[in-house]
Each structure stands twice: as structure tokens, then as C-alpha cells.
Structure 1
Amino acid sequence: MSRIQLDEGPDAGMTWHFGQPLIEQRTMAAGAGAVLLSSREFFTVTGEQRLSWLHTLTTQALGSLQPGQGADALVLSPTGQIVHGFGLLDDGSTAWCWTEPGGRESLVGWLESMKFWTPVEIASRDDLRLWWLGREVSAPAEAVAARPGAVAGGSWAILPGPTDAMETIEAMETTETGQWAFEALRIAEGTPRIGLDTDAKTLPNELGLFATALDKGCYPGQETVARVHTLGRPPRRLVRLLFDGDLPQPGAEIILNDRVVGRVGTVAQHFELGPVGLALVKRSVPVNATLVVDGIAAAQEALVDPEVGEHFRPQL
């Protein structure tokens, strides 16, 4: 089995595929397979008040999580732009958290600055690895924690690492799939990666209120989120792009009538949809307009209503 590794980009060092990327996607879609997401960075939060404390600081309703439950959460600027994003799984005594590559240091630093007198402890962890498991795959006994609700109906599992990936795969009686397969199915579902499909101006409303609960108390940036939701018409909206024949480079400009109306985020070749990508485009772009990216025609599929900023709210 050949192994093709990513040599650059945020996921450098991860396995891109094992020689049959489209078959690997079918394996994932069928509920089998496992993906080692080794680029994700871990930290833990402990203390009896950990969830209520994180609840007050983030966009997500975390205070009522039960052991074995988790969620995605965002940290916003005072004016509502996304500054940090992270996943979380709580086991009843520890909140196990992970960020996108390069996101941990600044997030942990900010959380430390917000502790004040709250009795919580935050620790960066380099001894853990995040796995995606197909819905038919059970987490191995050595998993620190696991929860359903991941891409393609799968689950997240946190395992001690570094580990021998092949031994882990054999113990789970499944096959390992690569990052290409994971990215393709994630993009097809429309699930954004914070920092890759977003920029410094992104509001949660532009992502369909991804990782954001409207029915919770105040948190930094909450007034902007509530105002945009109430008045409607977020500045931009998340779309899934279907490219005609080829994939553009991430970050490429999106053109409509000789005007730049957005930039491409992540892209991948999907086993059924073909070349796909995610992007934020201006709200004023007609939902049925054909766009041009690097000279490639791109149809768009609306994930977020341009008027109310809702409709796409994956629960992860």
C-alpha cells in the first residue's frame, strides 16, 4: 500500500492518501475507515467549573454538556469576528480540546488571561492524537475519549500518541484512509475549517451560525451576532463551489463580472461531485450566478441564506 504524504500547508506530515483516494472516500461514506488527523493540537481544561467557564467565553452552550458529549465552539472579538475555533469532548472531569494547526498557542494564551479567579487549569498536550472513525468503527479500548457527530456520520476519538497507526488500525479491524478523503467529504457536507475557510473578518452568521448557540447568555461578540441575526443580511455567506474540470489554488480570487467577490478556502476532488471547494462570497452575489476562479467556471450551492444567515448549522 503506497502512502503519499503532504509536504506543505497546514496539514504537512499527514497522509494525503494511500494510493486509492476515491476508493478511500467510498470507504468513509460507507461508515468504515479511520483517519489520523495528526495536525490537530490538543489542550485540556480541568476543574469543576471548566464547562460553565468556557460557556461564558465562547459562542457555544457548553454549560449543560454531559459526560461523553462535546461540541465545536468559537471565540469572537468584541465586534463579533471569529478569532479562535476549537473542538471539545468532555468526559465528566476533563474537557479535551483541539484546534486547527497553529491555533493552540494563541487560544491557550487568551484563555489563561481570562481565568482571573476561576479555579480551572489549562494544559497544552502533545501526547494526544485525534482520529476520525467511521460510524461502523468502535473506538479502541485505549481511547482517552470519544464522541459521535463528526464528518460523514462518524465519530471523534482521542488516542494517546505518538502511536503506531497500523497497530491502532488493526485493533479497530478497519482500514486507514487519508486526509484527501476526509477533506472531500467534509467539503461536500459544507463543514468549514476555522482559519482555512474563514478569515479575520468572518462572522458566525456568515457560516450559518456554525458552532454558535443563539439561546445562551452573553459572551464576547454576542451583540454583533444577535444584531446580524435579528436584522438579517450578513455581509457574506458560505457556499460550496463545484468547479468545471479542475481545482484552483486555495486563496484564489472569485470573480463575477470582473469584480472580486470572495476567495476560495479549502478544495478537494470528490468521488461523486468532482472538484469541490468552500468559499465565503459577498451576500449580494446572486445564488444562481456562475463564478470564475483561476479561469475555471464554478457553480455555487448556497449553504447559508443571504438574508438571515442561517440554514446551515451542522451539529458536531
Structure 2
Amino acid sequence: MDAFGALLHAADGAIVDDGVLLHTGNPLSEQRALTSGTAVAPLGDRVVLGVPGEDRLSWIESFSTQKVTALLPGESAELLILDPAGHVEHAASFVDDGTTSWLIVDRADADGLLDFLKKMRFRLRVDPRDAREEYVVVGGTPLAVAALGAALVWHDPWPGVAEGGWAYSAVDPHPGAERDWAEALIDADGIARLTAAVASSSVRLAGSLAADALRIAAWRPRITDADERMLPHEADWLRSAVHLNKGCYRGQETVAKVHNLGHPPRRLVALQLDGEAAARGDVVRAGENEVGAVVAAAQHYEQGPIALALVRRNAPVDADLIVDTADGPVAAAQEVIVPPEAGATASVPRIPRLGRRR
């Protein structure tokens, strides 16, 4: 939408890159404003897909990790689509209005997911489409986005444990509990009203840097954190996006096997860096041994430089880690998100060994 481009540039000092508002001059101040509900963030890195049709709910449930057929119109959920080996391929935020299911997805993942959906139609009554010309996504606190007058709002279930989900992190209170987040689907008229409100200074905009910093501080996984090997267990994603008791779907055997009998080979950790920022892909070391890599990093308005990293399961939980940044090695204190003992939840009876006959 051309109107969305006008919105991105409506705020003084707006820095826009490839259709994404990065910030309006002070990302740290924008984080405070998002947290307090005094700003909203137009999310140009998010895209909306629409799935109308009578079979849409059972169809989406058949190949995704989430049970959506029991949801009422307006209820929010999150789902993943896995490859046959259980690795995360796609992720989507889900809300249905009674006639159409709406999927909010990362822009870089949208074309691949839409192609997958079209290939899975067969003879069912569904018609997935790209809806980025119909809606744009604006995020913030539920009260802030409700004030925009959107008919469709997705409420982030994180860090709650959804029905059928499972939490690996034992931290209480969970840092994500402080992040109350929602994303509204805004049509052309809504964009025009929001642009006018920003121009008159009655509404403040925040950029993607601020929104992502709050996301990282909440330990909230995102598809941009995933590589081709990521299992949902590794990021504590069973918490909000996987229903362990639903019917069959692609990758379910791996999900069940790792959760019930095994352990995820890697685990997500939160890092507090000593004065220097990291970047995605930076190597994480324990002493001289490489144990993983940064998957997301930000400058937080209260915590300073923070990051999420995927490390080997056997990386010591009590070790201070080192991150090899572009400016050199930086000390990083870790906080365990997914513990090494995650998984192996099934109570498998031990068969006593038979003694040798005499």
C-alpha cells in the first residue's frame, strides 16, 4: 500500500529501510513508549495472508502444529509448519473472523508459506491469498492497538502455556510476562486515520528496532531466529505454538520423540553482554570451545546489550560465555531458557535385568 509508505514517513526523523520503519530518532525512548502504551509500531516486516473457505480450519489444523478448529472467531493462536524431520519451516500468528483465517507472518517467510499453502489445497474448499494489499500490521499493547479501531487484532499468547502446550523454562516470573503485545490488521482507511494522527502528534510511532528489543528481552522466539535445523523444543516454542495432543501433522513424530524420550540437541539462552552489542551469527564460546551462535540481538532500554543464542545442549549452564563480535570478544552472562534436561517427559518403565540362571 502506498498509504503505508506515507505512514512510515509521517513521523519526524523517521528512518525507513526497504519499507520497514527502523526508528524515529531514539529507539530506547521508543521502547519505553511501546511498553507504556503511548506508541504503536507499524510492522513493515510483517505480512498478512488470508485463507477463506469452508474447510479452512480443519485444513490448517491438518498440517500445522496447532489445534485451531476449537477456536472461536477473534481468538488468537500461534502455529508452526515443520518439515518431515520436525524442523521449523514456517511460523504464523493466527486469528479467524468467522469466514476467513488470517495469518500474520514475517515478510521474508511469506512467499514460501503461501506457496506451501497453495500446494496443499488439493480438492478442499480453501483459497489462500496474499493480503498485503488489504491489510498492514501495527503492533503495541492491546489498549494501544485497540484505539486504532481495527476489526481484527491478534493477541500474542506468549509466554502463556496454550492448551496442549508445554513450558521448558522454569523461570518464574517469566520475563515475557511484562510484555503485553498485540498486532492489529489495519485497512486503507485505518492507515489514513493513523497517518493523520501521527502528523498531528496525537499518536507516536515506534520502529522495528524497539519492537524487536522488547521481543528479545521477553525470550520470545521468531522465525528469523531459526535455521534449517531448529526444533521447536530448542526455543521453548512448545509453550505457545505446539499442541502436543492434536492429530497427526508433518514432523509430529520427531516432536513427540524428542519431548517424550529424548532431549533437544541445542537450547536457547539469554545473554547479557558486557558493554558491546552482538549481531546475529556471532560465535558463542565457553572458554576456547565454540558452543553456539547468536540468533537475535538488541540494545535494551533498561538491560543494555542483550541477545538470544542457541548453544549446544551440553554447554555448561554456569559458565560465563564469550561472544565474538565484530569489535572483538565480549563477555556474556547467560540465563538458561531451555534447560539441558528438557524433554524425556515420558515415564518409561525400566525392565529389570534377568539374573543368570544357575
Q: TM-score, normalised by structure 1?
A: 0.89
Partner of 1:303: 337
Q: Which moved more, 1:159-168 or 1:289-298?
A: 159-168
Partner of 2:283: 253
How far the C-alpha of 1:203 sits from its partner, in A, is 0.4
What SS does the corresponding residue of 1:190 show, helix, strand or coil? coil
Superposition map of 1:284-299 within 5 A: 284-294=314-324, 295-299=329-333
CA distance in 2, matches of 1:171, 1:47: 41
Q: 2:228 aligns with which of 189, 200, 208?
A: 200
Query: What is the Cα-based RMSD across aligned positions, in Å?
Result: 2.2
CA distance in 1, matches of 2:210, 2:98: 32
Partner of 1:183: 212
Partner of 2:137: 130
Change (3 A) 1:66 1:31: same
CA distance in 1, matches of 2:343, 2:210: 29
CA distance in 1, matches of 2:150, 2:198: 13
Say if 2:152 is the partner of 1:145: yes
Cα contact 2:278–2:298 (8 A) shared by 1: no
Q: Deviations over 1:147-186 (max 9, x none)?
A: 3237721321001249345325579954211212111110
Q: Moved runs in structure 1, 4+ residues, more than 6 A?
A: none
Unaligned runs of 5+ in 2: 1-10, 159-178, 345-358
What SS does the corresponding residue of 2:113 show, helix, strand or coil? helix
CA distance in 1, matches of 2:201, 2:140: 9
How far the C-alpha of 1:136 sits from its partner, in A, is 2.9
Partner of 1:160: 187
What amino acid does structure 1 have at the position aligned with 2:342? V
The percentage of counterpart residues that share the same residue type is 37
Say if 2:60 is the partner of 1:50: no
What amino acid does structure 2 have at the position aligned with 1:207? A
Superposition map of 1:1-316 within 5 A: 2-7=12-17, 12-127=18-133, 128-139=135-146, 143-149=150-156, 152-161=179-188, 163-164=191-192, 165-167=194-196, 169=198, 174-194=203-223, 196-208=224-236, 209=238, 210-294=240-324, 295-309=329-343
How far the C-alpha of 1:13 sits from its partner, in A, is 3.1
Larger Rg: 2
Q: Between Structure 1 and Structure 2, how many residues are aligned?
A: 305
What SS does the corresponding residue of 1:167 show, helix, strand or coil? helix
How far the C-alpha of 1:229 sits from its partner, in A, is 0.4
Larger helix share, 1 or 2: 2
Q: TM-score, normalised by structure 2?
A: 0.79
Change (3 A) 1:145 1:136: closer
Q: Deviations over 1:175-213 (max 9, x none)?
A: 21121211111000001110x211000001111125111
